[in-house]
């Protein structure tokens, strides 16, 4: 069970709802992923007052938890306003907080992120910050009131997998009790399995499923990989070693020749 | 047989045309004051690109869309059959490979061939896909000509007339109102699209060019006389007020990336409207009540591409009450 902000969530896969060929395929993919939390981008689809209602209705019908995000926000003010709008539209204090620094790489602006996380936490939001694997930033976000961290695997939509395995492992080791979710940059299920094997509590992805040739099949493949990775982590994997270690004792041979 | 068609967008006019061809006496009711006045097809790109669209559309769009080129050529003429070109900037080469995997009926071409096909793009792209069998038309001229042809053959066009399907006279009623029919068609949603019309004397293109980009895939369609349509955004929203600054930036950015001379282009027009779509982005023919009214809707971004095939099905369903064409629902 994944535990975040006092809630128990059965699935360790969080899925985004953007970029699918059609809403019908999005719905199929969410079902196939067995995700119980889906992220929704408010900013782009909202446009003006009350727009996008039909799309929201489809998402509500899924019967899963909605984690609205502040995708596309480049400043603290934009992110805070978007979060407040999301709380009204979806009736949830949960918010995936994105404050983007660079439009090209969509790198988080970690300074703005910490500031916005503090503001939103004081307003009663449960903040899921999209961050880097930087330990200092992680510490500041926790101090600001976040109870979960969502470091990137790689830049959003890049499908590169875990760019900095050392950094992610280090973050896991430094914060053993904080729920950690690898968010963004995953391309194929083995990337998700790798994140789970590192001991991450969950993964969040969107493009890898939405832009696959068969999104529902890919969603199902990711669900299996997340389950495999988590099971492997709990089963305590063996350590890598430099030398071969024969699994069958080599009897009857000279020890040294 | 007397048939009322409500809506003079691409679907209404195509349906009227198919019915008229089968001998029906057609009256078209349009709430706007002229053809295209309140139709989202007025803002269409006019690409007849069934094979390119397959990249993100379901199979019927390719199969049925393949009928569109000949249909438009027969009914109104003016279809440019110069194919279409799909390009990506060097660092987005993966997008081109992905597009190729999802589509068919193209030729993989190198930079030299890109320059041979579109001389103004010579030296700017190292690779592309050339869909030789595709075409494009000027959607506004096509709508106007289709309406003119209908009138010439005896159809009545009533503008400024917001007819409700149940009140419309005749033996049958085709409701082709687009998003305005959402009151009777649950699940119909709006998908916002924004576009620009620009004019540049410095760039000449002979066919639609799609510029692939992981976030912002856009296309440019030549309209002749240095005029180009740049489109179109796809946003889950039914807001039809105005184009956003971000969208304008993205549209112009794509044009500029295709050819920097577009930076000097004049912006003639910006357009916003909302495409009617069902959850699977495929059309529906829905018969309601006593069977007199047939709703034809949900063309999404494929109005000009799918209207011919959908109109044929609708006409068949009107003339034969036992017909159950594809996308038909009772």
- How far apart (Å, rounded) are the C-alpha atoms in residues B201 and B225? 8
Confidence band, pLDDT 50/70/90 cuts, at residue A253: low
Extract the tokens encoding B190. 């709006």
Closest to B125 (Cα-Cα) out of B137, B110, B136, B138: B110
In chain A, the residue whose alpha carbon lies closest to the alpha carbon of B95 is A211
A213 touches chain B (CB under 8 A): yes
A46, B237: Cβ pair inside 8 Å?
yes
Q: Residue B222: is its pLDDT beyond 80?
A: yes
Q: Residue B215: is its pLDDT beyond 90?
A: no
Task: Single out the catalytic residue among A96, A126, A211, A253.
Answer: A96
Q: Tens digit of pLDDT for each residue in B149-166?
A: 999 999 999 999 989 999
- How far apart (Å, rounded) are the C-alpha atoms in residues A18 and A24? 12
A167 is in an annotated binding site: no
**What integer is the mean pLDDT of B280-295?**
90
Q: What is the mean pLDDT of chain B?
A: 94
CATH class as words, domain B2-46+138-187+279-329: alpha beta
Q: Residue A53: is its pLDDT beyond 80?
A: no
Confidence band, pLDDT 50/70/90 cuts, at residue B54: very high
Number of A/B CB contacts below 8 angstroms equals 58
**What integer is the mean pLDDT of B91-106?**
93
B contact test, residue of A44, A54, A61, A155 with most B CBs within 10 A: A54
DSSP one-letter code for A114: H
Confidence band, pLDDT 50/70/90 cuts, at residue B80: very high
| Burial status of residue B78 (CB atoms within 10 A of its CB: 0-12, 13-18, 19 or more) | middle
For residues B264 and B252, the answer to whether their CB atoms sit within 8 Å is: no
A206 is in an annotated binding site: yes
The maximal CA–CA distance of chain A, rounded, in angstroms, is 82
**Ramachandran assignment for A3, one of left (phi > 0), alpha (psi -120 to 50 degrees), beta (any other):** beta
Extract the tokens encoding B312. 């044929």
B238, A53: Cβ pair inside 8 Å?
yes
> Rg for chain B (alpha carbons), in Å?
20
Instruction: State the sign of the Cα–Cα–Cα–Cα dihedral A37, A42, A46, A48.
Output: positive
Cβ atoms within 10 Å of A49's Cβ, excluding its own? 7
Domain ranges of chain B: 2-46+138-187+279-329, 84-132+190-277
In chain B, the residue whose alpha carbon lies closest to the alpha carbon of A17 is B236
B216 touches chain A (CB under 8 A): no
Confidence band, pLDDT 50/70/90 cuts, at residue A249: low
Instruction: State the sign of the Cα–Cα–Cα–Cα dihedral B40, B253, A108, A83.
Output: negative
Q: Cβ contacts (< 8 Å) between B236 and chain A: which residues? A: 23, 45, 52, 54-55
Output the pLDDT for position B99.
95
Closest to B121 (Cα-Cα) out of B235, B4, B238, B262: B262
- CATH code reported for the domain at B84-132+190-277: 3.30.9.10
Q: Residue A47: is its pLDDT beyond 50?
A: no
The maximal CA–CA distance of chain B, rounded, in angstroms, is 62
- How far apart (Å, rounded) are the C-alpha atoms in residues A37 and A50? 23
Q: Tens digit of pLDDT for each residue in A181-219?
A: 999 999 999 999 999 999 999 999 999 999 999 999 999
A61 touches chain B (CB under 8 A): no
Output the pLDDT for position A44.
60
A213, B101: Cβ pair inside 8 Å?
yes
CB-CB: which of A24, A51, A213 is closest to B237? Answer: A51
Q: How far is B105 from chain A (nearest CA, A)?
A: 18
Q: What is the mean pLDDT of chain A?
A: 90
Q: Residue B5: is its pLDDT beyond 70?
A: yes
Output the pLDDT for position A219.
98
Q: Cβ contacts (< 8 Å) between A157 and chain B: which residues? A: 214-215
**What integer is the mean pLDDT of A64-82?**
91
CATH superfamily to which A2-235 belongs: Aldolase class I (3.20.20.70)
Distances from the Cα of A230 to the Cα of A13, A51, A226, B231, angstroms? 11, 39, 6, 44
Confidence band, pLDDT 50/70/90 cuts, at residue A49: very low
Q: Tens digit of pLDDT for each residue in A135-180?
A: 999 999 999 999 999 999 999 888 999 999 999 999 999 999 999 9
A contact test, residue of B214, B236, B242 with most A CBs within 10 A: B236
Q: Tens digit of pLDDT for each residue in B156-195?
A: 999 999 899 999 999 999 999 999 999 899 999 999 999 9
In chain A, the residue whose alpha carbon lies closest to the alpha carbon of B182 is A54
Q: Residue B145: is its pLDDT beyond 70?
A: yes
A52 touches chain B (CB under 8 A): yes
Residue A96 among the catalytic residues? yes
A157 is in an annotated binding site: yes
**What integer is the mean pLDDT of B203-213?**
95
Output the pLDDT for position A228.
97
Q: Which residue has the higher pLDDT, B307 or A156?
A: B307
A53, B98: Cβ pair inside 8 Å?
no
Interface confidence, given as ipTM, is 0.83
Instruction: State the sign of the Cα–Cα–Cα–Cα dihedral B250, B253, B254, B255.
Output: positive
Full-model pTM: 0.87
């Amino acid at each position: 069970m994944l535990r975040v902000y006092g809630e128990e969530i059965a699935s360790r896969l969080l899925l985004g709802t953007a970029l699918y060929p059609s809403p019908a395929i999005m719905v199929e993919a969410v079902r196939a992923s067995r995700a119980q939390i889906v992220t929704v981008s408010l900013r782009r689809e909202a446009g003006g007052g009350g727009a996008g209602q039909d799309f929201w209705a489809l998402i509500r019908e899924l019967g899963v938890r909605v984690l609205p995000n502040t995708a596309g926000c480049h400043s603290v003010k934009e992110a805070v306003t978007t979060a407040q709008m999301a709380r009204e539209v979806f009736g949830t204090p949960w918010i995936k907080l994105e404050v983007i620094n660079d439009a090209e790489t969509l790198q988080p602006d970690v300074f703005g992120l910490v500031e916005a996380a503090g503001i939103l936490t004081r307003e009663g939001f449960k903040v899921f910050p999209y961050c880097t694997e930087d330990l200092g930033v992680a510490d500041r976000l926790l101090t600001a009131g976040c109870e979960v961290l969502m470091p990137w695997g790689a830049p959003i939509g890049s499908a590169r997998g875990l760019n900095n395995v050392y950094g992610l492992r280090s973050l896991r080791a430094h914060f053993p009790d904080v729920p950690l979710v690898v968010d963004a940059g995953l391309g194929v299920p083995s990337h998700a399995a790798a994140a789970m094997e590192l001991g991450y509590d969950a993964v969040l992805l969107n493009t890898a499923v939405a832009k696959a040739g068969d999104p529902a099949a890919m969603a199902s493949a990711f669900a299996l990989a997340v389950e495999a990775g988590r099971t492997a982590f709990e089963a305590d994997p063996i350590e890598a070693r430099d030398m071969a270690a024969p699994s069958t004792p080599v009897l009857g041979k000279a020890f040294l020749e | 047989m007397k048939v009322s068609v409500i809506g003079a967008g691409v679907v209404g006019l195509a349906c009227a045309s198919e019915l008229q061809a089968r001998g029906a006496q057609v009256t078209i009711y349009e709430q706007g004051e002229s053809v295209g006045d309140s139709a989202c097809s007025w803002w269409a790109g006019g690409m007849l690109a069934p094979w390119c669209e397959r990249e993100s559309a379901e199979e019927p769009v390719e199969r049925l869309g393949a009928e569109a080129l000949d249909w438009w050529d027969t009914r109104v003429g003016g279809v440019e059959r110069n194919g279409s070109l799909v390009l990506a900037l060097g660092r987005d080469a993966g997008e081109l490979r992905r597009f190729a995997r999802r589509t068919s009926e193209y030729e993989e071409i190198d930079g030299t061939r890109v320059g041979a096909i579109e001389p103004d793009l010579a030296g700017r792209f190292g690779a592309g896909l050339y869909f030789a069998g595709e075409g494009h038309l000027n959607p506004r001229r096509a709508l106007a000509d289709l309406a003119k042809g209908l009138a010439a053959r005896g159809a009545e066009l009533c503008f400024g007339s917001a007819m409700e399907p149940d009140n419309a006279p005749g033996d049958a009623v085709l409701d082709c109102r687009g998003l305005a029919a959402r009151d009777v068609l649950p699940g119909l949603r709006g998908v916002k699209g924004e576009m620009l019309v620009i004019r540049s004397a410095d760039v000449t293109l002979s066919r639609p060019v799609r510029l692939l980009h992981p976030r912002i895939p856009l296309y440019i369609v030549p309209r002749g006389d240095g005029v180009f349509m740049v489109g179109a955004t796809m946003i889950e929203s039914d807001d039809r007020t105005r184009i956003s600054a971000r969208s304008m930036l993205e549209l112009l950015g794509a044009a500029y990336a295709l050819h920097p001379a577009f930076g000097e282009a004049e912006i003639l027009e910006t357009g916003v409207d909302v495409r009617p779509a069902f959850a699977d982005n495929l059309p529906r023919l829905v018969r309601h009540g006593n069977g007199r009214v047939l709703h034809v809707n949900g063309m999404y971004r494929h109005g000009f591409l799918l209207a011919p095939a959908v109109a044929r099905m609708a006409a068949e369903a009107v003339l034969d009450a036992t017909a159950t064409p594809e996308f038909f629902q009772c």
